[in-house]
Amino acid sequence: MRKYLRLHRIFVAQDLKKLMEYKVDFLMGAIGFVLVQAVKILTLGIIFSAIPALVYKVNGEVLDAWTFNEVLFIYGFSLIPKGVDHLLFDNLWGMGYWVVAKGDFDKYLTRPVNSWFYVLTEKFCVDAFGDLFVGIVLVAYSVFSMPAEIAADINWLRLIPVAFVLPFAIMIYTSIKTGTAAISFWTKRSGHITHMCYMTNEFASYPAKIYNNVVKTIITYILPFALTAYYPAIYILRGESPWSLAVTVGVSVALFLLSQLIWKLGIRAYESAGS
């Protein structure tokens, strides 16, 4: 493990150096990512200007409601595990889009290191700072501007279990990317499958209760992005559904093992390219 960390450090240093070299590119990219989020938040703001709070109604009966601050908190929180995965493990995208198709995966197999770890350590994606920045700012802003009666529900001790669960939440992103990227070992290209599964994370940015049962099941157990955002966030805010933290750990480990299995089998099926 220490070996991988030492390796990773070399690549991180390299990517940071490159960042300094192409300052404008980095700045434009980061501004871009921030703007994409800004537009979404602006949209949320416009929506909320028309309503007092977002409610969950069944048969006309209000079962739950979230204020603008709470929705912002959930939204901002969702960007944190997503951003960390993006920062550290972005190299997996290339696998399904071109690495396997062009036969470039060969080089990962001729080295005496775990090929999956090797792919992960090779890149440090600085663009992710845009997402992380927005996420942290939103979380902080939503807490500080919160009406006192809502803020009173927050118990900061709940951050301790959430901090423990956070790596598992990140792992959900990484495992979904790994499993779908490994499909390319059979099909040559699978980047679009990764894209499709990854986009499901859009559901995670809002309270999971507003979705119907099909969507709720998918985002909790199959492509469990809700476990990376809504559940831990609402737990911090209200202490609601503490069980979800255990589910996050369990589902994350299961997904991780599954993605590793697909990866292992995939390597056996790998056909390289040309002759």
Partner 1 sequence: MTKIKKYFPFTRAGIMESVTYRANFLFFLLGEIMKCFVMFFVWKAVFDSSSQETLYGFSYDNMVVYLFISFLSGYITYSDGSYAIGKEILDGSVVMRMIKPIDFDMCFLFQELGNKIISFCLIFLPITAGVEIYRFVINGRLMLDIPMLLLFLLSMVLAYGINFYFNLSYGFLAFFLKNLWGTDIIKGAVVDFLSGATIPLAFMGGFGYVLQFLPFASLSYTPVMIYMGLYSPWQIAFYMSLQVIWLVIFALISKLVLKLAMKRLVVHGG
Partner 2 sequence: MENSMIHVENLHKHFKKAIKEPGLKGSIKALFKPDYSVVKAVDGIDFDVQAGEMIGFIGPNGAGKSTVIKMLTGILTPSEGFCRINGHIPTQSRKEYVKEIGVVFGQRTQLWWDLALRETYMVLKEIYDIPQEDYEKRMAFLNEVLDLEDFISSPVRTLSLGQRMRADIAAALLHNPKVLFLDEPTVGLDVVVKDNIRKAIKRINEESGTTVILTTHDLEDIELLCNRIVMIDKGKKVFDGELSTLRERYGQMRELSFELNRAEDLEKLTYQEKFNFAEDDFSVKAEGTGVKVRFNTEIASVENMLSFTLSKVHVKDISVKDADIEEIIRRLYKGGGEAK
The pair of three-digit structure tokens given for residue 85, joined into one six-digit string: 């995965």
Nearer to partner 1, 10 or 35 (CB): 35
Q: For partner 1, which residue of 21, 111, 149, 212 counts as binding (CB under 8 A)?
A: 212
Site mask for partner 1 (CB under 8 A), range 58-97, x = bound: -------x--------------------------------
State which of positions 139-178 bind partner 1 (CB under 8 A): none
Contact between 127 and partner 2 by CB under 8 A: the answer reads: no
Minimum distance of partner 2 from residue 21's CB (angstroms): 10
- Which of 25, 153, 202, 271 is close enough to bind partner 2 by CB under 8 A? 271
61, β-bridge pairs: 58
Rounded Cα–Cα distance for residues 167 and 175 (Å): 12
Residue 165 and residue 169: Cα distance in Å, rounded?
Answer: 6
Q: Does 24 bind partner 1 (CB under 8 A)?
A: yes
Residue 23 contacts partner 2 per CB under 8 A: no
176 touches 93 (CB < 8 A): no
Provide CB contacts within 8 A for 63, sequence distance 6+: 56, 57, 209
**Strand spans (E) along the chain:** 54-58, 61-66
Backbone angles phi, psi at 66, to 5 degrees: -130, 130
Smaller CB distance to partner 1: residue 110 or 212?
212
Q: Which amino acid, residue 113?
A: V
The site for partner 2 (CB under 8 A) is made up of 3, 6-7, 10-11, 14, 18, 103-104, 106-107, 109-114, 118, 122, 268-272, 274-275
